[in-house]
Structures are given as C-alpha cells and as structure tokens.
Structure 1
Amino acid sequence: MKQQQQTEAEALPPELVERILLFLPVKSLIRFRCVSKQWLSLISDSRFAKLHYDTADAAPANNNTRVLYLSNKVSEARCIDLEASILSDYALQLPISCRNVPLGILGSCRGFILLRPHVNGTDLILWNPVTGSHKAVPYPVDDPTAPCWTGFDGTNLLWGGLGYDESTDDFFVVVGLGWRSGFEDIRFQWHYFSVRTNSWKEIECGHLPPHFPLNECGVFCNGAIHWLAMKDTAFNDIIVSFDIAGKHLSMMSLPILSFPEMQGCHDWRLKVFGGCLGISYLKKNWKIGLWVMKEYNMESSWTKPNVVLPCDDGMFFLLCFTNGGELVGMQYNTKLIKFNDKGEWADSLAITCDRTDKLMVMFTQSMRSLQD
C-alpha cells in the first residue's frame, strides 16, 4: 500500500505538487514529508520553505500564528494555536543547550525565535520551534562574561531583537547594551549580526540621546525592530527602532502620552495588532487601553481602534487579535483568556509563565531551517 501511494504521488507533475503543497498548513507538511522521497526533498528545500511562508503571509487570514511561552515550572517551551480553542497547549522540544537553564526571549521573526540563556558567556540561540533547526549566535565581544555584558543586575540592561531583510534573504540579530552609574553617566552600545555572513558589526548610535529600552524583546514590524524606551533624565518614553535594510537606529516620539486621558496609565507594552505597531496599557481603573499607528512612522496616525475591549477587572495584558476578531490576553500571568468580538469571555487556559514580557512571544510557523 505504501509503495502504491508513493507511486501515485510521484505520478503528479512536480510543479503541480509544489503548487498544492504551498497552500497546506505547516502541520500537514510535516506529515507529508513521509509520503515519498520526492515530497521529502521538496518540502525540505529552503526555496520551498520561503515560498510557503510568503504564500501564507499574503493570504487574507494567516492561520500559522501561534503563541509560545517558556514554563517557569519545568524547563520546556509550550505552544498554543490562538485561531482554535485555547483550552489546551502542547510542548515543544528546546535545543539541548537551552534545557535546564533559565531562559529569556529577545525576539521573533518569520518562524524563528531568539533565545537568551541566562548563563554568563552562553551563546544566543536562533531557533525554529517547528523544524527544530537552531543556530548559536555568539556575543559580539571577546569577553561576554564581562560585568557590563551580563545584564543580570540593576546597573545595566541587555536587550535584543530579530529581523529579516527580504532583499538579501537574510536574518539579523540585534543586541543593545546600556549601563550606568547614574543618569549623569549613561553609556550604550548596539550591534547587529548577519546570519548569512555569520558576522557582527557595531551600529553607529552617537547621534542618539541617552536611552534605556524598557522591554528586552524587540518587536519586528514594517522592516524594523522596535523597543519601548526611556529617554534621558526627563524620563520621556519613546520608541527606538532599527531599520533592517538601512542598518540605522532612530527614535519615534509618542505624542499620545501627552493626552490628558493618558495621565496615570501604566504598564505600556509594544506589540503588533493587525499588522500595525501598537501600544497597550493599563488605565488607572485597571482597564485595558490600546492605540495603534495606522500609518507607519506617522506620529499623527496614532488611533484608538474601534474594537470592544473586555471589562475584565485586575491585571490583564493584551496579546493580540485573532483573524476572527477575538481578543487574547493574559490575566495575572497565570491564565490565558480569549474574548469574542463583543468583549465577552470565550475560552481560558491556566498556564505557568511569570513575566510574560520576557517569557512569551507571538510567532508564525515556518518550515525553514538554518545551518549551525
């Protein structure tokens, strides 16, 4: 029977087989690698993996989006399909070097996640949770165990991000470091790593005023990686961005912070909502607020989306909207909750994930692999 199925599969023209497979979900492709040697070769090819990702990304509704979180009770990663019911999750196999060590997440882009083992001198890990492919990314300095690069105390901060350049088909890891002995003496460095050339380069940032990103994990959107940051001694919040194609840093101001209705709001979080860069926050009454930048890098385009936000009391943090308009968020870092488009409770799932800003990330499934 197996030989008959393989013969029938190989009887189809290769171009037709590829066309059909391009529209299948990742889960099906993983199974179909066993159909025949021809299908295994096609699905494992990097050209096909890129075409498959681009096809799904261009579709009106991309059903490959998942949320991944690192459990704080056991050394494992767990994944949830937000487009389906969120009543259950499943485990993913971490790279060997990341098991049984404390981890952080520094970025996500086109199916890959940037992991940071919290062990002095340990390489960063670029990892595809679907294929298991991973690549060690060393720190851009000769001595990553030096105090200023550990980022484990209150005098410095290490942040990062992951981006992709379509024109060169290259992934870029970006890391920044800030340290201080007080606001009178703030220093910072930025570097980027090209996966294609396997090399680091320092980013020129002398034109920027002193700043400290407020979140370690960068957000990739519109060809750039973004971090919420605090600027200079005035404690002004801004967005620091690194343009992947141009390889330069810049800052965006946040005019919405000056609005009277924003006074007393807190716990700002930078995310992507419906393809737009957005900021969610908690109001003084612990209700959720949301602004999105409708036109990228246009300060005047910051807009309150016309959506019904849940009236859920307590510490609730917005994660994303599904293709069907449902809202998903975290409450008290212990429960994932989905609300329908009317702001009514739909599903929930108890999870173990403290500090979601460092241990949870959205990612889009991809069949792509990297050579270590």
Structure 2
Amino acid sequence: MAPQKPLPHDLLTDILLRLPAKDLVEFRRVSKAWLSLICSQKFNNAYLKYSSARRLVFRSYNQLYTCPLWLKPGQHEAVPFGFVREHGRIRLVGSCNGLVCLVASSLKESIVLWNPATRKHRVIDVSPKNYEFFTSFGFGYDPSSDYYKVMRVCMEEKPTLATYSLRNKSWTTSDWYHGRVHHHSGVLVNGALHFKVQGRYKRDKCGVVALSLATDQCSRFALPVSFDERDLDWARLGVLGGCLCLYIGRYSTNVWVMKEYGVNESWTEVASFSDDDDAESDHIRFFPAEPMCVWENGDVLIDNDSNMISYSPYDYGKSFGLTEVKDVQAIDYSESFLSPHLDLPQT
C-alpha cells in the first residue's frame, strides 16, 4: 500500500483548531511537525480567536479544580499541581489568554503563571512574606507593546505600586496615592486593571481606580450613585459582556454594569435577587454571600461560605451547589497553549 500523503498544512490547521484543548495536548506527541504547529504562536493566537470555550478554575483550600464554565455537580476534576501543596495557601489573581496567575504564600510570596491546559507553570519570587493580607495583585496583557504584566499594590506604611514586565523580567516601583485598595484582585477591562478603593480620608468616597497596562497611568471612576459604602466589603468587580461590572452580595445580590466605559452615569443595574426570590432553590439561605463570577448569560456564581452555588435569577431562581467544596475562590479562563515562559522565543 502506498504511503498516504500528509494533509495540507492549512487543512490540518483548520481541523486542529476545532478540537478541545485536552485532545491537542495529546496530539502534540504525534510528530515533531504536529508539536511545532500546535505550540506555535500563530496557532495559539488563532485558537484563542476561534475557540469560544471557556472553563472555570477554582481553589478549595489548597487544591485546584477545573471544570466547564457552565458548572454542574460532579463535573469538576482536581488538577495535579505539586507546587501548590509545597508552598502554602494560594489565591487566584486573574487570567489572560489561557494563563492563570496565582499567588502562593509560604516563607515568601511567589507569583505563579500557570497554563491549566498544558500543566506548565513558571514561578516569580516577589518578597519575604510581610503583606499578604494588605496586598492586591493584577495580571494582564498590553497588545500595544505585546507585554504581559503583573501589578502589585502594597498597603504598607508608604503604599507602593510595583509592576513586573515578563518581557523585561524586571520590577519597577512607584508611590501609590490613590486610596486603600481592598484585597480583591485587579479586573482586566479595556487594557486596564481595575481595583476598588477607599478614600485616603473619611470624607473621600469609595470608587474604582483603573491602572493602564500601556502607560501605568491611573484614572478614577465613581461607583453607582445608589451604592451604599457600608457594602464595600461585600462588593466585587468583574466583567460581563466585555464591560466592567460590580456585584454586591450582602442582604441581596445586585449586579451593575458600566455600559459605556469610563462614563459614571452609564452604571446600570441588570440583576437583583434575594432569598425571597429563591422559590425553586434547594439552597435556602444565600446571604451574607460573596458573588465570585457573573456568566455571560447572567447566572451568578456565589460563595456563601458553605456551598459554591450557581444561581440563575432569570430562570425562576433555579440554582445548584457543590457542597463538598469549601473555602472557595474561582475565576474563568480561555484554553490556550501559550507558554508561561513568555520571555522565551515562541515558535
């Protein structure tokens, strides 16, 4: 039998772009040619654009799990990641182009870039462990410079902003004058990382500081006019439909979206629900609770300190929970084959 001719490169690429990431991880072993194709920067960029599949990664105690974005009971699986077990408590910072950024704390804080699809990771040592609970991190990508950056706002006696460029492998530090940053991580929208802040003085209002990844310049946005500043500890920033959003979970859950970026008057409440709305739910008491993510269909992932609950305010209050996971934190990510060693040449 005559040997079969290899598929044309363009046809092979088109086929591979349609496959799940877990299959492509295995297909890298088929041949050196397939390995080179799947690991190339060009293929990875196309895969990020072509694939709409997103997944959830969440931490329960010090174990990491991944599952489909539309969380269902029993679909989550533990991810082997020995680094976590060896380096103490972790917190998830954010994701960008398939890379998940997390902070591990043992004798020192370490920033870890991790690709859940390829299971590859890279460690960036930061400093001795002094400010774990007074430090906020953010992670993002600036397409204008093709740089990935990690930003660290430290609320020490003299607050500082430190920026790490993965291209230059170096830190730059400056003073921080924009108010007290809460411990939640920065949220990436419109090329900037967004942090919720309290004013430096009691008379100052709470707000949102946007830190540009391209220029390192800051701008400040107001929170919705009706926002009660006593709810600041229960509020979290997020992304919904590509827009900056704010969700609050104290006595009820309210979801606000900034429809026009940078325009304070464009804050619009798009969802609101409470325990009284929970007629069809098996989870009787939601509040106080901390919303963790808002999906594109408006469902809200909630941590009420005993369950991780996905709640649908638009579908008669239907919800379900994962009762076996505690002490949770969750973020979503896109699957890709981007190497966490971004300073190395990508083929």
TM-score range, shorter chain: 0.7 to 0.9
Instruction: Name the SS for the 2:183 alignment partner.
Output: coil
Say which of 298, 321, 324 aligns to 1:348.
321
Instruction: Say whether the 8 Å CA contact 1:203–1:248 is kept in structure 2.
Output: no
1:292 aligned partner? 257
Residue 330, structure 1, aligned to residue 302, structure 2: yes
Code of the residue aligned with 1:120 in structure 2: it is L
Question: 2:76 matched to 1:67?
Answer: no
TM-score after normalising by structure 2: 0.84
- Who is 2:282 aligned against? none
AA partner of residue 65 (structure 2)? R
Partner of 1:104 in structure 2? 91
Q: Does structure 2 retain, via aligned residues, the 8 Å contact 1:95–1:134?
A: no
* Inter-partner Cα distance in structure 1 for 2:325 and 2:229: 32
CA contact (8 A) 1:240 1:249 kept: yes
Q: Which moved more, 1:307-316 or 1:33-42?
A: 307-316
Give 1:43 deviation, angstroms: 0.8
The CA RMSD measured in Å over matched residues stands at 2.8
Residue 219 of structure 1 corresponds to 187
Q: Write out per-residue CA displacement over residues 322-352 of structure 1, whole angstroms, 9 at most, x where no aligned residue.
A: 45x2513224233222344324324332243
In structure 1, the residue matched to 2:21 is 26
Deviation string 1:151-172 (CA, Å, 9 cap, x unpaired) is 146xxx1111101012333211
TM-score calculated relative to the size of structure 1: 0.79
Distance 1:327 1:233 in 2: 36
Distance 1:14-1:44 versus aligned 2 partners, 3 A rule: same
Please give the alpha-carbon distance, in whole angstroms, between the structure 2 residues aligned to 1:34 and 1:221: 36
**Could you say if the C-alpha distance between residues 85 and 216 of structure 1 is closer, same or farther in structure 2, counting changes exceeding 3 Å?**
closer
The CA distance in 2 between the partners of 1:161 and 1:102, in whole Å, is: 18
Residues 215 and 228 of structure 1 are in contact (CA less than 8 Å); yes or no, is this contact kept in structure 2? no
> What aligned pairs does 1:223-372 form with structure 2 within 5 A after superposition?
223-234=191-202, 236-254=205-223, 256=224, 258-259=225-226, 262=228, 265=231, 267-282=234-249, 286-305=251-270, 311-312=277-278, 313-315=285-287, 316-323=289-296, 325=297, 327-340=299-312, 341-354=314-327, 356=328, 359-371=329-341
Identity %: 25
- Aligned to 2:159, what secondary structure does the other structure show? strand
CA change 1:223–1:263 in 2 (3 A) is: closer
Measured in 1, the distance between the counterparts of 2:33 and 2:138 equals 36
- Gap runs ≥5 in structure 2: 279-284
Relative distance call for 1:287 and 1:239 in structure 2 (3 A) is: same
Query: For the structure 1 residues 120 and 277, does the alpha-carbon distance in structure 2 shift closer, same or farther, using more than 3 Å as the test?
Result: same
- Structure 1's 307 and 27: CA in aligned 2 closer, same or farther, altered over 3 A? farther
1:15 aligns with 2:16: no
CA deviation after TM superposition for structure 1 residue 282, in Å = 2.8
Displacement of 1:100 in angstroms is 5.2
Q: Is 1:151 aligned to 2:161, yes or no?
A: no
**For the Cα contact (< 8 Å) 1:67–1:81, is it kept in 2?**
yes
Q: Aligned pair in 2 of structure 1 residues 343, 297: CA closer, same or farther (>3 Å)?
A: farther
Tell me the matched-pair count: 331
Matched, 1:131 2:118: yes
Q: Which of 149, 162, 167 is the matching residue for 2:144? A: 167
Partner of 1:184: none
Contact 2:58 2:64 in 1 (8 A): yes
Q: CA, structure 1 residues 339+216, in 2 after alignment: closer, same or farther (shift >3 Å)?
A: closer
The residue identity in structure 1 corresponding to 2:138 is G
Q: 1:76 Cα shift?
A: 2.1
- Gaps of at least 5 residues in structure 1 are 57-61, 181-186
SS at match of 1:123: strand
1:14 positional shift: 0.6
The answer on whether the counterparts of 1:69 and 1:353 sit within 8 Å (CA) in structure 2 is no
- Pick the aligned partner of 1:198 from 158, 169, 172: 169
Q: How many angstroms does 1:192 deviate by? A: 0.9
Q: 1:320 to 1:158 in 2, by over 3 A?
A: closer
Q: Structure 1 residue 264: deviation in Å?
A: 5.8
Aligned partners of 2:82, 2:218: CA distance in 1, in Å? 31
